[in-house]
Amino acid sequence: AALVQGLGVVVGEEEEEEAVLTGFATPDVLLHQPLAIYRAHLSRTLGRLVGCGLEQAYDAIQPASSAGNGDLDFVLPKLKLPDGTKLQDLAADVVKKFPRPHPLFLPPFKDGVHVRFFLSPESLTRILIPYILDRRGKYGKKALVEFSSPNLGQDFRTDHLRSTILGAFVANMYEAMGWHVVRINYLGDWGKQIGLLGLGWIKYGSDDVLAKHADPFRYIHGIAARIDAEGEGQGAATAAAADGCDDDDDGSDTDMFAERDATFKRLEDGEAQAVELWEKMRDISIAYYASTYARLGVAFDDYSGESLVCRNPEALARVEAVLRAEGIAEQRGDGSWVVDFAKHSPAAARLGVAVVRARDGTTTYFLRDVATVLDRLEDYSFDKMVYVVGEQDAHFRQVFETARLLGQGDVAGRLHHLSFTRGPAQWGGDARLLGDILDRCEEYVRRAAASTWPDDVPAHLRRTAVAGQVAISSLVVHELNIRNRSHTIGLDVELLTATDGETGPALQLAYARLRQTLSQLKAAAAAAAAKDPATGTSTGAAADYSSLWDAPWIELLRLLARFPNVATAAFDSLEPETILSYLFLVVDELSCCLDVVDDDESGETEEDAARQSVARARLYQATRQVLENGMRLLNITPAAR
């Protein structure tokens, strides 16, 4: 905001400035890209000079492709002016009439049908230096992490769960590496399955029941499950939804299919009633998810799902227009639009064919993802986007390749699909909602705490509230600790709840023991200080670090030295297991230290013992820091007392 204001002062038309700036480039982009600010200003001046709309001018300006060619490039053919317009003359005219001196630009020069602009040195020094220094490590490092992304009215599957836990880790990792991170939940809130949900509501839903229901989300989910089961009988259910590709033309035409499609069509056409119902279901779902994710310590910045681009027909139309104009998409005999990758590059031939629009004219999962890439680019201007999605590899390859075909080669390079193999569809056999999974997990941990956990587990870890926290970390460790993401896993209650091995309870237990030892050492030090001969100014004992020069302490320190390298390796590979297994090495070495029984060495004074304790306390403090740092990256909250 300060920057925008600063620019207002530079150009001297503050109010108009703000309006221009926020008119078509979102504040987010402006604040993230200095060039976007210049571009927004330039489009106003150029719009006036060539007599076109601001937005049209904005679209015709792009960052220069190579150094020496100016910083911004005004591409006149992109203005789509009426045929017969002499672009060369127009370019010359722009150069002649461009105001000079200009606070932001040097006088432009003509290059065929381009007009090229250099940013003025005066503005660069004034704007860019503070801009970069303000952002420091975050300059040029914006990552979008898209994860979880369940579907409206459908079960929260195990792959959604793993995506949630893995995605939280990825987002934390980027943040720790100094990136600005946006967490996005791409809800499956559009497509034919939404038609089925609407149909279910029309058949079985009641506003009265919903208003009084203690758990509105469960009520909706129940209705969805009922209509889904009914549809399954008729082949209209969203079986294919499990692949995420719920809505490619399935070519069947039972009654229920027709009704489902008609209901969805009403929504796509923007019929008020249909939209109202859809909004209601969406709001209820988001409220439920937001509060349930909070139990996992996960919060999203953005819940814009598949509907976002679909409810903005312009965004879709723009992408489709280019797909058609450039011959990337073609129409088939049945009326559907497809991208046949074999026709565009032999290397991409194995990608097969992607459907852009189904034969009945409805949008597809594929089209929505392609349009969303461009939309997010405008909204966020990201440097990296990570999709944390189980399987769907072919789908993402198609989306990324299409971004490349659309001339967004540099963008395609910023897209990354973090894939993993899906386990069984439902967690623990039959938990269908995220909240149920978490409840179940707490129940398992509480049960184990009361029965199988050994006696020396501190009492506070067994208490209900804390057991809840332990349960969440158990789930996280269980989901992340897979040597290889392509491993299929289901729920293993033993692995979830055990207090030994690489499990959540083992980690929390070690952490609790460490804290306990630390407070004992502190108490002892305080007592020793109190016993000091009364000079009144007790400084406490100095640390005797030489007492740590042997195993196991020195081995623990060696491990702690490695943490930053482990974190970097985990960032490079996005493998949480790297951090997890490291933390368990620390836990093992730590317990060797804590297990040492000090025998009374003859000749050791109380003073010596105190100095050794101080050294150990410092070591354990450092260990605690490393454990906490590692746990935070994995999105595990150290259990509080």
Region from 68-76, 144-152, 255-263, 474-482 binding ligand ARG, contact rule CB under 6 A: 144-152
Region from 79-87, 142-150, 493-501, 556-564 binding ligand ARG, contact rule CB under 6 A: 142-150
**Strand partners of residue 114:** 75, 111
**Strand partners of residue 353:** 340
- Selection from 452, 382, 390 nearest residue 422 by Cα: 390
Looking at beta carbons only, is 151 or 503 nearer to ligand ARG? Answer: 151
Region from 3-11, 149-157, 539-547, 598-606 binding ligand ARG, contact rule CB under 6 A: 149-157
- What's the min distance (Å) between Cβ of 500 and ligand ARG? 36
Residue 167 contacts ligand ARG per CB under 6 A:
no
Q: Strand 142-146's sheet: what is its strand order?
A: 180-184, 142-146, 384-390, 415-420
Cα torsion angle, 430, 307, 214, 475, sign: positive
Residue 34 contacts ligand ARG per CB under 6 A:
no
Q: Got the DSSP string for 175-235?
A: HHTT-EEEEE---B-SSHHHHHHHHHHHHH--HHHHHH-S-HHHHHHHHHHHHHHHHHHHT
The DSSP bridge pattern shows strands 180-184 and 415-420 to be unpaired
Looking at beta carbons only, is 77 or 413 nearer to ligand ARG? Answer: 413
Region from 148-156, 420-428, 508-516, 578-586 binding ligand ARG, contact rule CB under 6 A: 148-156
Residue 401 contacts ligand ARG per CB under 6 A:
no
- Residue matched to tokens 């403090």: 621
Looking at beta carbons only, is 198 or 244 nearer to ligand ARG? Answer: 244
Residue 7 contacts ligand ARG per CB under 6 A:
no
Give the separation between CA 475 and CA 503, rounded to whole angstroms. 9
Tally Cβ neighbours within 10 Å of residue 206: 12
Rg of the chain, C-alpha, whole Å: 30
Looking at beta carbons only, is 41 or 376 nearer to ligand ARG? Answer: 376
Residue 566 contacts ligand ARG per CB under 6 A:
no
Residues 232-251 that bind ligand ARG (CB under 6 A): 244
Report the residue from 73, 248, 259, 369 that binds ligand ARG according to the rule CB under 6 A.
369
Residue 151 contacts ligand ARG per CB under 6 A:
yes
- What's the min distance (Å) between Cβ of 148 and ligand ARG? 9
Phi/psi class of residue 136: alpha, beta or left (left: φ > 0; alpha: ψ in -120 to 50)? Answer: left
- What's the min distance (Å) between Cβ of 245 and ligand ARG? 8
Give the separation between CA 641 and CA 630, rounded to whole angstroms. 20
- What's the min distance (Å) between Cβ of 373 and ligand ARG? 9
Report the residue from 43, 149, 285, 499 that binds ligand ARG according to the rule CB under 6 A.
149
Residue 123 contacts ligand ARG per CB under 6 A:
no
- Selection from 360, 355, 424, 337 nearest residue 395 by Cα: 355
Phi/psi class of residue 52: alpha, beta or left (left: φ > 0; alpha: ψ in -120 to 50)? Answer: beta
Q: Is residue 39 within 8 Å of 61, Cβ to Cβ?
A: yes
Looking at beta carbons only, is 186 or 303 nearer to ligand ARG? Answer: 186
Residue 389 contacts ligand ARG per CB under 6 A:
yes
- What's the min distance (Å) between Cβ of 271 and ligand ARG? 24
Looking at beta carbons only, is 171 or 587 nearer to ligand ARG? Answer: 171
Locate 312 and state its tokens. 């903005």
Give the separation between CA 298 and CA 168, rounded to whole angstroms. 7
Looking at beta carbons only, is 334 or 393 nearer to ligand ARG? Answer: 393
> Residue 486 burial (CB < 10 Å; 0-12/13-18/19+)?
exposed
Residue 427 contacts ligand ARG per CB under 6 A:
no
Residue 186 contacts ligand ARG per CB under 6 A:
yes
Report the residue from 300, 380, 387, 420 that binds ligand ARG according to the rule CB under 6 A.
387
Residues 316-335 that bind ligand ARG (CB under 6 A): none
Looking at beta carbons only, is 64 or 315 nearer to ligand ARG? Answer: 315
Residue 216 contacts ligand ARG per CB under 6 A:
no
3-state helix, strand, coil in the chain (%, to 5): 60, 10, 30
List of residues contacting ligand ARG (CB under 6 A)? 146, 149-151, 186, 188, 244, 369, 387, 389
